[in-house]
Structure 1
């Protein structure tokens, strides 16, 4: 009996020590933010001293990709660690009629793997504060609750199955009658985040902090909401929204520091997709492409990892090619959580690139999909509108239509603005990458919806 008691005590101490070592994890997933929106990446839109503070205190990556150029599929990919096409979410979710026209489901099925579910296997308490947009809203009344995706607490906006009544007094993104005004939302979500940490002091916490800043229309104050249709897409309004958003990032950091939590809190800062509009590429640092485009301006995103206990401050990694699908396996590794049993993540564990002063050499190519039929009408600018499929392989990026008849090829190292199509000069690269891209799309599209009958509308 004494021996068993000693073993039990040792196991308890091990588990207690493990929990003490696990970091709190906060994913700040901004909305429509381009790489030119941060001053630490050379952007000139608006000074962002608090986002810069995150970068200076951690590691900034310059080759991080979202695997979809618009909100709903990008959020599905970061949540599941898998390409969005496997879950039949192809563009932003809207009404049932719109979703059908775009050949997509009405919501992400609750059976899908999520970061929250996996971290709960390692003892985490979980919360989601902010935009959801993976199902629910408009006339979609049967989307699963956010709780079914593994979250213990949540407060979300109109485009979700559980809209917070303080944020959504009407049937639109925001109204003048909302209790929490449009320009107060990020502060509200930051307050929720800090309160959740206070309420779970003995437990590691995972929090999605997903503000809907800096998505247009930009409504920075009370006077702006009165005549917003005439001014809410102007750069000066965007700058005011960005300034307030940055201020709230500072409030989060200050709150964590005051609670003694900053040292062992892993903060991941990134965006769901590129900006709209870009104001003549100011918000993309000169890159071609915007939101809804597979050119670099639509999918190459800000990415900062801040974890004072483990990540050395002041680093910039311009070599590692990483992506949103990598977050789930990476966070599982860091938190000692179990990977999903029945689903194989498409992403890779990139934790070594975070924790060490070295770059990550990707094992698999990155694939992208957007714009499958004529109902994908954006971006309006033909120069920014890309072909339906793309693959990133080393320095090469190849675009194609699903029939393989139209192809573009760019070398991102020598041509980051994707201005010079090298299809004719580099046929050997085309012959290598095109079959891989077409095969990926053929095998991935709706793989876990129609193929495994997880969804019945």
Structure 2
């Protein structure tokens, strides 16, 4: 009898231990999370209602912020489209990959070098299915050599560059029955091509239906991946809020903020749709979603453009308005809702994702990003204590334009941004020529995010000494990649649905218009 009781006791202990092992073992080897990266275009720090804009309406992003972690000091690596996207996807400053100066054109010879490792490639190594929907802007090249499908993405649905690089079409431009207010369209280029993987399925792209077609692709990808129980990475790179702004019929005249507000409403609605898709697919609780943007607002559009809120200047400049962006991290049960004032950046996304999924950082390359896990999951301090600012047109001779260390930011150079020549702040104007500062201009960003009140550098000699040391060390470590923009352009490389047709480029159109299935077939 005593032996039987002893065996019963052992059995119960064994079951308890097995239960513990199973419980904690599952915690250690839990299913890898799905990852959705939402990337807006030309969105200012002050454009979202959750960031304080009084007439914007962004209920879905507001809800995401209320359920997630809102960043107040998050930076894009560049104040311009192509270089900022290169830095996001590689975790490296654009100067290393050669994606500078300025941006890729529709007929650019170069692109994001294929020897660079992207987030998509890193996640594929960990068993992820990968897709991009939206704006690529990292090159097309000869025979599609730089498209996303050559850079780690299993599927692609989108326009490979900004819509201002295309002719204004439909006579009413990008809104139904509303006169076009934008004069910046490149009428000498091919019509905007909509790619599905490496095939042009619509040219010109119909911007009145574009967001809905993007969402069809995203929904298809999410559902297919969830059904296969395969972890997925979706990179939804919005064409919004780049000029010329656009919105479909459902959102035309939906905002008291005008066409910019209409476009913003459509983008926010799309964010809400993405959350609906992951809920319907049953993967909401195991999906990490991160939202941010590529650079600050285009002040060239004045009242029709974006807003940097309390920050100085905007797109193309190294003042705060050019680099500091809205950012929201969301993962129910993993990320505690709240607001962080810790410093982070787009280059940090790659190493953070690799840490989350247990992946490896590319070997034998210099990574500029740091892991954001302490901020996301532990209410902790950032692993980043400084941040480097390059302008939209960096060069080796000048090097770093500005550097932030803790709350202090020192400007060594500045020039105007993509702005009118009548902007109230002279330093933001497009005709504000290059200025060198010796000693540097120094600001306290905690007290003065608008960079208005210069500090006396003599009174902050210890701060300047630390900044100078960081600057010298970083520049010594910077190996500049060959400029991909410097490789030139060729009309022959502009994407055309009818190669060799005449008269070029207007002949580059699809025979049918908006008849294709826009769902994403996995390669």
1:199 aligns with 2:211: no
1:67 aligns with 2:77: yes
Equivalent residue for 2:50? 40
C-alpha change, 1:145 and 1:173, in structure 2 (3 Å) is closer
Contact 2:100 2:394 in 1 (8 A): no
Equivalent residue for 1:380? none
Equivalent residue for 1:381? none
C-alpha change, 1:421 and 1:173, in structure 2 (3 Å) is farther
Equivalent residue for 2:405? 393
1:432-451 alignment to 2 at 5 Å? 432-434=466-468, 436-441=470-475, 443-446=477-480, 448-449=481-482
1: CA distance between counterparts of 2:190 and 2:439? 41
1: CA distance between counterparts of 2:251 and 2:193? 13
Equivalent residue for 1:361? 382
Tell me, what secondary structure is at the counterpart of 2:235?
Answer: strand
Contact 1:64 1:301 in 2 (8 A): yes
Tell me, what secondary structure is at the counterpart of 1:255?
Answer: helix
TM-superposed CA distance for 1:153, in Å, is: 0.8
2: CA distance between counterparts of 1:406 and 1:174? 48
Number of equivalent positions: 404
Q: TM-score, normalised by structure 1?
A: 0.78
C-alpha change, 1:108 and 1:354, in structure 2 (3 Å) is same
Tell me, what secondary structure is at the counterpart of 2:370?
Answer: coil
Consecutive unaligned residues of structure 1, counting only runs of 5 or more, are 1-13, 100-104, 226-230, 375-385
1: CA distance between counterparts of 2:29 and 2:203? 39
Tell me, what secondary structure is at the counterpart of 2:258?
Answer: helix
Equivalent residue for 1:147? 149
Contact 1:129 1:154 in 2 (8 A): yes
2: CA distance between counterparts of 1:438 and 1:96? 37
Q: Output the aligned Cα RMSD.
A: 3.7
2: CA distance between counterparts of 1:337 and 1:387? 32
1:185 aligns with 2:210: yes
1:201-231: CA deviation from partner (whole Å, max 9, x where unpaired): 3210011110111111123347999xxxxx9
2: CA distance between counterparts of 1:198 and 1:223? 25
Consecutive unaligned residues of structure 2, counting only runs of 5 or more, are 1-23, 166-173, 175-188, 195-201, 415-435, 489-523
1:358-400: CA deviation from partner (whole Å, max 9, x where unpaired): 13233442112115479xxxxxxxxxxx996111100111111
C-alpha change, 1:337 and 1:37, in structure 2 (3 Å) is same
Equivalent residue for 2:138? 134
C-alpha change, 1:422 and 1:371, in structure 2 (3 Å) is farther
C-alpha change, 1:388 and 1:279, in structure 2 (3 Å) is farther
Q: TM-score, normalised by structure 2?
A: 0.69
Contact 1:110 1:149 in 2 (8 A): yes
Contact 2:399 2:475 in 1 (8 A): no
1: CA distance between counterparts of 2:106 and 2:260? 31
1:370 aligns with 2:372: no
TM-superposed CA distance for 1:124, in Å, is: 0.6
C-alpha change, 1:157 and 1:325, in structure 2 (3 Å) is same
Contact 1:75 1:272 in 2 (8 A): yes
Alignment partner for residue 417 of structure 1, among 450, 454, 468?
450
Contact 2:343 2:384 in 1 (8 A): no
Alignment partner for residue 245 of structure 2, among 194, 208, 218?
218
Tell me, what secondary structure is at the counterpart of 1:26?
Answer: strand
1:155-210: CA deviation from partner (whole Å, max 9, x where unpaired): 120429xx9xxx9xx724479x8575214323322221221122223210011110
Is the radius of gyration larger for structure 1 or structure 2? 2
1:10-159 alignment to 2 at 5 Å? 21-95=31-105, 106-136=110-140, 143-159=145-161
C-alpha change, 1:295 and 1:445, in structure 2 (3 Å) is farther
1: CA distance between counterparts of 2:407 and 2:55? 28
2: CA distance between counterparts of 1:193 and 1:38? 23
